[in-house]
């Protein structure tokens, strides 16, 4: 699940999430749009994001960012 999906599922705005994490709303927006990859966020901050969003496994955030493999035959 993407950061945006998790944030919306928890009923938070970008500003509310940013305030809880000590980020700006623009930084949250950049992470959600892929302009700033979640993989570039420190482990400490990733764990903090998971705590705020009640995600038990940080890999859920990282896996949502990975491009899907093309499974169709050429």
What is the C-alpha separation between 24 and 55, in angstroms, rounded?
Answer: 21
DSSP letters spanning 28-58: HHHHHHTSS-GGGS-HHHHHHHHHHHT-S-T
Flag whether the pTM goes above 0.85. no
**Alpha carbon distance 49, 72 (integer Å):** 35
The band of 68, judged by pLDDT with boundaries at 50, 70 and 90, is very low
Residues 27-57 have pLDDT tens digits of: 999 999 988 887 788 888 888 999 999 998 8
67 or 51, greater pLDDT: 51
Tokens representing residue 47 in the block = 């764990």
pLDDT tens profile 8-32: 999 999 999 999 999 999 999 999 9
**For residue 63, how many other CB atoms are within 10 A of its CB?**
11
Model confidence at 64, pLDDT cuts 50, 70, 90, reads low
């Amino acid at each position: 699940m993407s950061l945006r999906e998790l944030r919306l599922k928890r009923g938070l705005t970008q500003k509310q999430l940013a305030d809880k994490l000590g980020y700006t709303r623009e930084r949250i927006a950049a992470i959600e749009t892929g302009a700033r990859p979640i993989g570039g966020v420190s482990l400490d901050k990733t764990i903090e994001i998971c705590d705020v969003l009640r995600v038990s496994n940080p890999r859920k955030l990282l896996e949502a960012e990975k491009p899907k493999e093309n499974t169709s035959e050429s």
